[in-house]
Structure 1
Amino acid sequence: MASNGIIPFQVSMLNNINYENWSIKMKALLEVQDIWEMVEKGYNESQDESNLSQAEKDSLRDSRKRDKKALYLIFQGLDDEAFEKISNVKSAKVARKKLQTSYNGAEQVKKVHLQILRGEFEALHMK
């Protein structure tokens, strides 16, 4: 471990078959970095900062920084194909939602296709 208290880590790469495992590992990494909340809940972006107190401005700046850190770590765990799916997002929360929709949807399609093939196999086997 580094002497400055930083824990080195390796980000798992997301591919077409490991979304569930990748998401568990990514959640753990983001929790260790104390930024999972940004991915799960996001933050309220102020439209007009001129009406905010200095404490509110500081809090907003901190939230933006934590969100970008989470988004950066998510980007680091993506291959080029997955990155292209979310490269235009502006927040970690939106990135997570897009990845969930993309990969969970694909997984459900695979399961349905497998069930169809199983049924066809059983029908052939019975003939």
Structure 2
Amino acid sequence: MASSSYSAPPPLVFSGENYPNLSVKMQAYLKVYDLWDVVEIGKDPAPLSDNPTLAQIKQHSEERAKKFKAPFCIHFAVSDVIFTKILACGSAKEVWDKLKEEYQRVF
């Protein structure tokens, strides 16, 4: 699990050029904060069991918060022009897939 005492510098702002660099940097950035799985898998955590402990409630809350933190990180790593293209995406996975579809060039 990522250390909460580590503060990574914010990623550079992606302007639409050199998607491979964005991809590598954003994956590393999101992994530092234990958010990459949310982007890659794109599903909510399992519901809490009956009569959960306080620790389980806290863990579940932290896992649920990741679905908001991951797209937030990506939103602030793109220019305003690109942000308008991903604004309607509902999840971090959708945001990432849209960026990949739009900017990844296959040669």
TM-score (norm 1): 0.66
Structure 1: which 5+ residue stretches go unaligned? 112-127
One-letter code aligned to 2:62: D
Structure of greater Rg:
1
1:89, distance to aligned residue in structure 2 (A): 1.6
State, as a whole percentage, how many aligned pairs show the same letter.
Answer: 28
Report the number of matched residues.
101
Task: State the match for 1:23 in structure 2.
Answer: 23
1:86/1:54 CA distance change after superposition, 3 Å: farther
Whether the 8 Å contact between 1:86 and 1:98 is mirrored in structure 2 is: yes
Higher RCO, 1 or 2 (CA under 8 Å, sep at least 6)? 2
The two structures, once aligned, show a CA RMSD in angstroms of 2.6
Question: Which residue of structure 1 aligns with residue 11 of structure 2?
Answer: 11
Partner of 2:32: 32
Shift of 1:44: 3.5
SS in 2 for 1:12: coil
Partner of 1:92: 92
Paired letter, 1:26:
M
Kindly state the Cα deviation for residue 13 of structure 1 after the two structures are TM-superposed. Answer: 1.3
Instruction: For structure 2, list consecutive stretches of 5 or more residues without a partner in the other structure.
Output: none
For 1:121, the equivalent position in structure 2 comes to none
Q: Name the structure where helix makes up a greater proportion of residues.
A: 1
TM-score scaled by length of structure 2 = 0.77
